[in-house]
Structures are given as structure tokens and as C-alpha cells.
Amino acid sequence: LPIRLRDYAPPPWRVVQAELDFELGIDASEVGARLHLARDPAQDAPLRLDGEELELLAIALDGAPLPAGRWRYADGVLEVDGARDGSVLETRVRVRPAENTALEGLYLSGSREAGFLLTQCEAEGFRRITFFPDRPDVLARFTVTLRADRARFPVLLAGGNPDGAGELPGGRHWARFVDPHPKPSYLFALVAGRLEKIERDYRTADGRAVKLAIWSEADAIGRCRYALGALERAMRWDEETYGRNYDLDVFHVVATHDFNMGAMENKGLNIFNAKYLLADPDTTTDDEYRAVEAVVAHEYFHNWSGNRVTCRDWFQLSLKEGLTVFREQQFSARMNSPALKRIEDVALLRRAQFPEDAGPLAHPVRPAEYREINNFYTATVYEKGAELVRMLAGRLGEAGFRRGMDLYFARHDGRAATLEDFLAALGEANGLDLSPYLAWYAQAGTPRLTARGRHDAAARTYTLTLAQHTPPTPGQPDKRPLPIPVKLALFDRAGRMLPLRLDGQTSAASTERVVVLAQAEQDFVFRGVDAPPVPSLLRGFSAPVILECDYAPEELALLLAHDPDGFNRWEAGQQLALRAYAALRDGGGEAAVEGWCAALAALFDDAALDPALLADLLTPPGEIELAEREREVDPARIHALRQELQRRLAAALGGERLERHHRKLAADAGAQPDAAAQARRRLKRRVLELLALHDPAAALPLAQRQYESAAGMTDRLAALAVLVRHEAPQALNALAAFRARHAQDPLALDKWFAVQAQIPGEPALARVRALEADPAFTLKNPNRVRALLGSYASGNPSGFHRADGAGYRLLAERLAQLDALNPQVAARLATAFNGWQRLEPVRREQARQALAALAGHGALSRNLAEIVGHLLPA
């Protein structure tokens, strides 16, 4: 049965203090727990603790062993008789880390001989470690003692401050950690094994001396420097921007190659997928550098938005995730280019979240029900959730948002909160009622915003009519209007912004302002407008909606040329590209294609333009985004048309001009990750890709040369991708060289798998099959699974969506196998089937059959069963 938001009840029993004792071993670890209990006097419920796959060795209440009749353990629940307010429950359990392939709870990373032990508890992994009320509204003080063989586990870490360590007989040792801050069980963590560290002393703005340490296995410790710098930048930024200081004497960050997700914000002991922590120019691309900085910051920011103030229940997940993604976006914008960051984030939203909102997996930012919470760590909860916080922050302005955040942190510090609490604090601090925005959290689906403008020459007015409509989603047939903030400017035909005088407005005119569409349809009248203006709407993507506005092509060209809002400038180019694409698809004449190409050709040699922005302007919307706009999707056709569109652009720019540009950019072939060098590499890649479509005979030797001379991973991988995707004769050698060069590095090897899984069209499937037989492939490592099967199924539409259905059958078979090992990763991978109902009939039927076969498989995990159940409703 699903768990429902409306059924929430406070915990009848709390744990105020938890003393944990670990005897660590690879095959078996023993966990002793002393839980100091508090009973809610208003409730009369038996003591029930969560526990999964635990072998109970001993149990005692208030110092006395409990006889068998006084407790029951079944279906993941331990029920204990006779507990009172203030009772102490002691349990001792055995768990088996080496057999734990779900990578949830206590598990082994790496080999039995060389690997290390670690934990992952969010959302409900702590119950695989010991019996506990494993819910985020139970906040306890944790004291953790670790014991282990010193030679095998020289490093012992847990969350909180260190509180002693020493030797034990028989070559064993111990270490104790005390966390003074009450926390929910999902933030518990420990790490034990052979690890190296780099350290730095940090002093917080409020004067605390903190030891920062980043830990990894020995071979990777040289690649931790960048993350340490990023951590320090994030800490300073949070002090300066939100007045938030770190609150323990140590801050540990640990890298692992075996991780279900990106990273985890465990109190004082963050644990990272190595992909988001390790960085050096030889193995890390520029995009990955930025991801490392962003994820390090994200996890650090959770210390306040998530840890000090946590979530009452998992329905509130976006309270910490949406807010923390938003804080990370602000930080990254500050550290890098704000316009590029916004473009990157909106592109991600459109590629990952809009399809979620438009298909059978659609759910509100605050879901109303779930079966398996791990399935709700989604783009909707994270990315759309961040957009909602951005709207609120925009509504309040910088100072107002800070006031609201201060109140939120002060009021809820040390407690578990709800989204209502968040909106109330933001509102109260500013004398505003923000509750209308709650509707955004409850309603799934992406609103369509339509805009029409009418100029009245006699009255010198411009009337902007905004209207909204949200299509139905599963379980929500009827939608209400939402408050949609539309940031806008008006341009005259020379590309100058006009002062805005809104009807009824008294304040001084500015050239940009925000109007809020609160109803289904509203008019906004601007006065003193002499000639029909060109509106720049939804600037900076001020709300997560799909804007429909019937611009004339020359109006979009004007915005592309003149809009100082970097995001909207790019967006105008995207709109032109979409029209060019539609013209190619529908045989709708040459004008749209030529118009798009000419507009970009005019910008191509503009020295004032950021090369990274130019690279993004030269990139039309991706295949997934294009598919979202079709009623019936044929991924092969979309791929072919998009290639053709790019070929036309390349032809318009001209082979010689592209080659010259590539040569110029190749001249400075360093590998430093600074923004200017990153921007040039980004453009270099785009130019090479375009040239390869236009004139492979010229481009492929260039790509080979770039591969051989590349100073770092960005240029090397870009060149390799071009060779591989074009099935160039040089590709085989380059792949072999790449493999040999990076044989010892799992993260680089993942790229080797991924680049081949993304070969477009027909050849992809055979390649994926062959790679599955590679000795380096394993279903047990999530990064490797994502690199091969994820890149194929979710990152290669024309390769995966085969008319013969073989891609679907391959995925369905692997899902069943993977599910038996790691349900979380299997369920995530299965979302590649999202959108199958909108495929053209032949593929649709193939997908349906593959899904039906999977659904009939019998023993699916709750994770995968929930996803398949949504994809294939009964």
C-alpha cells in the first residue's frame, strides 16, 4: 500500500540519545545500540523500530535481557513490550557488508582485500544497520564507537567530533565520535579502511577552527586538491551570503567508486561518488570540474539546509533538496558565468524534468504518495523544486529573501520542518502571504504560458495578454492557475530597451520588471509606447513553464542580437533553431533555416561574445527536447533531422571558416580549468563537431590530431567522441589508446564505455552488447552500469529506440538482473522507458511488450515494481 502525505502522524516514540558500538568486519559486522527513548504522552502506541535484514543477537530493556515473548521481529519491524518513557533499549545485531550489493546500509567498496567499509543511509538505509525509528522527524544525539583490526582498517571515521581513540588487544583499535547536534538517522555515517587524506585548516567567520579533510584511496589522493579548494569557497560563500557558519571541529569528505547516487551530506562526514570529487586535467573534463565544484558545495550547503533544519517526512524532500540545489546554483553562478549557469540549468530542466512532468511518472514537487521513497529523488523534486525557490527568492528580492532565510533557520534550527514552515518564514519576515505558491508544490505538470501583444498607436499603449494552462497528469485531471512571475523588458526596433510604465504604476519607470500572472488570463497595459515593441519575456527563465509566443523571426533575431539578458539571448536563438527544425521537418521552405544560420553566422566572429555562449548558441535543442514537442515520436527521424539542421548551419558557416576557427582555438592547447580556457575548449568542441558533419574528410584527421596532442581530458574526449560517432577509421586506434592510457582509472574507463554507448542509430546495440562482455563491465558497479546502459538507454535515443525493439528487450532483461542486485539503480535506469506511450506505433508496441515482460517477471523489488507500475498502468 502506498504511504500518504495526509496520513502523517508524529512519532509515538523518539530516541533522544543513541550510543552505537561497531565491531567492524568485511564479512560480518556487529552493531550494538543503546537507545534512550522518549514516549509521546499523547499517544498510546507500542514501541516499534524499523529493521531490515538484521540478525538479532541480543536484546535488553532497562538492563534486563528480554525473553522471547516480549518482542517480535517480522516484516521489517521490531515490536517491543514494556518500554516506558525514559527506557533504554539495547540491541545487538549482525550485518553482512560484503554481501550487500544494494549499496544501502553498511557495505564494502572495492575488493575484499583492498576495499573499505562505508554507509549510505538516506533515505531508509539506517534500518539496515540497526533497529531504530528510521524517520527524519526523530532527532537524536549520536555517540559512535568503532572497533576494528588496525592493519586492515587503519582509518576509522564517523560523523561528529572525534572523542578519543586507542589500542585494543590483538592488533585491534578503537575510535569514538560524538555529534553534539541532534540529527535524524539518515544523516548517520561511518567509514573504515585504508584511506589517505589531504587536509587544510579553516577558520569560520564566527571564529571556529575547523580541520577540513578529503579522503580517498591512495591512488586518487593526488586528485582531491580541487575539491578541497571548492569546499573552502563554498564555506566562505555561505558565510557571506547567508551568514551560515560550519558547526563542528572537523569536516570529512570521502570518495568511493561504489555509490548509488552523486553524493551524501552525512553530518560532518560527507560521502561522495568519486565522479563528483576527484579532478585533475588528465582525467576530468571541464563539465566535470564544474560538477565537482557544484556537488561539493551542494553537500556542504546541506549542513544548514537539510541537517540543522531537516525534513518532517520524506514528502518534504524538496524542502532540503530544492532549496539546496538553488543555493548551489547561486554559488556556481557567482563562481562562474551566471548566464552560462542559467543556460545549463534550464537545459537540464527541459531535458530531464519536463519529460518527467509530461509522462506517466509525473508527480508534484511534494508528492502526495509513494511506495518507495528512493524513487522520488527526481528532477522534479530537485530541479523543479529549485525553480520554485528561485521564484520565491525573486519575489522577495535579495535582502527580503535573506531576511526570510534567517527567520527560517532561526525558527527551525535543530528541528524537522515542512514546506508550509518554509513559506511561512519567508512570508512573515517580509510581511507577505506566500501561501499561493504552495499550489506549485502540489500540482504536477508544466504550465503552458501564452503571450500575445497588441499595440495601440493612438493610445500609445502596449497590451500584453498572458494566459496559462497546465495539461492533466496522472491522477490530476484538473489544474488550477498558478502564480507565474514573468520578468520582462520591451525593445524598440533598434534593439534598445524601453522604460516600462505599467498602467496604474506610480514608481519610477525601469527597463525591466516582473509581472505576476495569477489568473488563467490577464492583461498588462504599458503606457507611453510609441511603436510596436519586441517583448523579451520570462527573462532569466523566471518561472518553470513552457512559453508560447508567436514572434516574427526578425523579432527573435533582434533579441538574439541585442538582449543583454544572456539567458534570453540564448533562448531567442533556441526558438529560431526550433523553427528551422520545424521547417526542415515539414518541408516548410528555406527561410527559417537560412534565417537561423544567418543570425548565427553574424555572431560567429564577434570577438566580444563569450566563446562558451557562442558554443551554446551554435547548439540546437537536443533530441529529447525535440521529441517533447512531437505528438508522435520517431527518434530516428528526429536524429536525422537534427543532424541535417546542424549540417546546414555548418555549411552556412563554411568549412574553411570552421577549420580556421578550430586552428585558432587549438593553438592554446592547455588544460587549465579556468573559465576562459574552459570557454575556448567548449567552442573548439562545437566547431569540430560541426565541421565533422559538414566535411568529415577534413574534420576526422583534425580530430585525430586533437586526440593525440590533447593536453587534457576535455580535448581528448571531445576528439574521441567525434571519431567514434562518425565511425571514423581512426576511431579504433584512438579507443585502444584511450583504454591503455586510462586502464587504471575507473572514472576514465566509464567515459570509454559511455562514448561508445552513444554511437547514434543502428550500430549502437551491437556495440553495447560487445561492451557488456568486456571484462571491465559489471552490473555490480553503479557508475559502470550508468556509463554503458544508462548512456545507451537514456542518452542515445536513436540507438536505443529501435523499430525492432531489441533495445527495449536488452534493457528489460538487464533491469531484471540488476534489480536482484541493486533495486535503487535498477529503478532509476528503468525511467529510460518514460515517454514510451508517445512513440510512433511500431516502437510503442515493442516498448509495451518489453515492459509487459518485465512486469510479468514476478519478483521485482518494490523500487522497480513502482516504476514499472506507473509506466504500464494496469
> 137 or 321, CB closer to Zn ion?
321
Rule CB under 6 A: is residue 291 a binding residue for ligand ARG? Answer: no
Whether residue 252 contacts residue 246, with contact meaning beta carbons closer than 8 Å, is answered with no
> 80 or 361, CB closer to ligand ARG?
361
Q: Is 838 helix (H, G, I), strand (E, B) or coil?
A: helix
- Minimum distance from residue 123 beta carbon to ligand ARG (Å): 5
Distance from the Cα of residue 342 to its chain's centroid: 15
Rule CB under 6 A: is residue 265 a binding residue for ligand ARG? Answer: yes
Which among Zn ion, ligand ARG, none contacts residue 377 (Cβ within 5 to 8 A by kind)? ligand ARG
Whether residue 850 contacts residue 809, with contact meaning beta carbons closer than 8 Å, is answered with yes
Rule CB under 6 A: is residue 264 a binding residue for ligand ARG? Answer: yes
Residue selected from 261, 388, 572, 871 as contacting ligand ARG according to rule CB under 6 A? 261
- Minimum distance from residue 333 beta carbon to ligand ARG (Å): 19
| Amino acid identity for residue 67 in this structure | P
* Cα–Cα distance, 1 to 591 (Å, whole number): 56
Instruction: Tell me the angle at which helices 317-335 and 338-348 cross, rounded to the nearest 10 degrees.
Output: 140
Q: Look at residues 224, 275, 292 and name the one whose alpha carbon lies nearest to residue 252.
A: 224
Rule CB under 6 A: is residue 538 a binding residue for ligand ARG? Answer: no
> 195 or 271, CB closer to ligand ARG?
271
Q: How many residues bind ligand ARG (CB under 6 A)?
A: 11
* Cα–Cα distance, 117 to 30 (Å, whole number): 13
Whether residue 771 contacts residue 779, with contact meaning beta carbons closer than 8 Å, is answered with no
Residue selected from 299, 387, 659, 819 as contacting ligand ARG according to rule CB under 6 A? 299
* Cell numbers representing residue 155 in the block: 582509518
> 309 or 649, CB closer to Zn ion?
309
* Cα–Cα distance, 771 to 777 (Å, whole number): 7
In this structure, the dihedral spanned by the alpha carbons of residues 573, 576, 581 and 584, taken in order and rounded to 10 degrees, is -140
> 107 or 581, CB closer to ligand ARG?
107
β partners of residue 139: none
- Minimum distance from residue 688 beta carbon to ligand ARG (Å): 34
- Minimum distance from residue 245 beta carbon to Zn ion (Å): 20
Whether residue 803 contacts residue 842, with contact meaning beta carbons closer than 8 Å, is answered with yes
- Minimum distance from residue 123 beta carbon to Zn ion (Å): 12
DSSP track, 200-217: EEEE-TT--EEEEEEEE-
> 260 or 337, CB closer to ligand ARG?
260
Q: How far from 865 is each of 89, 145, 370, 827, 830, CA to CA, in Å?
A: 35, 38, 12, 8, 10
* Cα–Cα distance, 696 to 702 (Å, whole number): 9
- Minimum distance from residue 409 beta carbon to ligand ARG (Å): 19
Which among Zn ion, ligand ARG, none contacts residue 659 (Cβ within 5 to 8 A by kind)? none
In the complex, residue closest to ligand ARG by CB: 377
> 300 or 462, CB closer to ligand ARG?
300
Rule CB under 6 A: is residue 296 a binding residue for ligand ARG? Answer: no
Instruction: Tell me the angle at which helices 225-242 and 286-301 cross, rounded to the nearest 10 degrees.
Output: 50
Which among ligand ARG, Zn ion, none contacts residue 501 (Cβ within 5 to 8 A by kind)? none
- Minimum distance from residue 268 beta carbon to ligand ARG (Å): 15
Rule CB under 6 A: is residue 293 a binding residue for ligand ARG? Answer: no
User: What is the contact surface with Zn ion in residues (CB under 5 A)?
Assistant: 321, 324
* Cell numbers representing residue 492 in the block: 524598440
- Minimum distance from residue 302 beta carbon to ligand ARG (Å): 6
* Cell numbers representing residue 697 in the block: 574528410
> 295 or 650, CB closer to Zn ion?
295
Rule CB under 6 A: is residue 313 a binding residue for ligand ARG? Answer: no
- Minimum distance from residue 217 beta carbon to ligand ARG (Å): 22
> 324 or 575, CB closer to ligand ARG?
324
In this structure, the dihedral spanned by the alpha carbons of residues 56, 61, 67 and 71, taken in order and rounded to 10 degrees, is -60
Of 189-197, 259-267, 609-617, 740-748, the segment contacting ligand ARG by CB under 6 A is: 259-267
Count the alpha carbons within 13 Å of 20 in the hemisphere toward its beta carbon: 29
Q: Is 299 a catalytic residue?
A: yes
Beta strand residue intervals within 420-494, DSSP E: 448-456, 461-469, 484-491
Q: For the window 369-388, what string marks contact with ligand ARG as x by the rule CB under 6 A? A: -----x--x-----------
- Minimum distance from residue 36 beta carbon to Zn ion (Å): 30
* Residue of 90, 299, 387, 628 with catalytic role: 299
Which among Zn ion, ligand ARG, none contacts residue 374 (Cβ within 5 to 8 A by kind)? ligand ARG
Q: What is the phi/psi pair of residue 180, to 5°?
A: -70, -15
Of 17-25, 38-46, 263-271, 406-414, the segment contacting ligand ARG by CB under 6 A is: 263-271
β partners of residue 714: none
Exposed/middle/buried for residue 156 (C-beta within 10 Å: 0-12, 13-18, 19+): buried
Report 92-131 residues binding ligand ARG (CB under 6 A): 122-123
Report 29-48 residues binding ligand ARG (CB under 6 A): none
Q: Look at residues 306, 352, 355, 311 and name the one whose alpha carbon lies nearest to residue 326.
A: 306
Rule CB under 6 A: is residue 321 a binding residue for ligand ARG? Answer: yes
Rule CB under 6 A: is residue 315 a binding residue for ligand ARG? Answer: no
Which among Zn ion, ligand ARG, none contacts residue 785 (Cβ within 5 to 8 A by kind)? none
Which among Zn ion, ligand ARG, none contacts residue 623 (Cβ within 5 to 8 A by kind)? none
Q: Look up residue 508 and give its DSSP letter.
A: P
Which among ligand ARG, Zn ion, none contacts residue 610 (Cβ within 5 to 8 A by kind)? none
Residue selected from 156, 190, 263, 614 as contacting ligand ARG according to rule CB under 6 A? 263
Cα dihedral 563, 564, 569, 571 sign: negative
Of 128-136, 260-268, 560-568, 579-587, the segment contacting ligand ARG by CB under 6 A is: 260-268
Which among Zn ion, ligand ARG, none contacts residue 261 (Cβ within 5 to 8 A by kind)? ligand ARG
Q: Is 676 helix (H, G, I), strand (E, B) or coil?
A: helix
Whether residue 852 contacts residue 808, with contact meaning beta carbons closer than 8 Å, is answered with no
Of 145-153, 256-264, 701-709, 845-853, the segment contacting ligand ARG by CB under 6 A is: 256-264
Which among ligand ARG, Zn ion, none contacts residue 344 (Cβ within 5 to 8 A by kind)? none
Could you tell me how many residues make up the chain?
874
* Cα–Cα distance, 160 to 145 (Å, whole number): 11
Q: How far apart are the first and last CA of the chain?
A: 16
> Active-site residues: which are they?
299
By the criterion CB under 6 A, which residues form the site for ligand ARG? Answer: 122-123, 261, 263-265, 298-299, 321, 374, 377
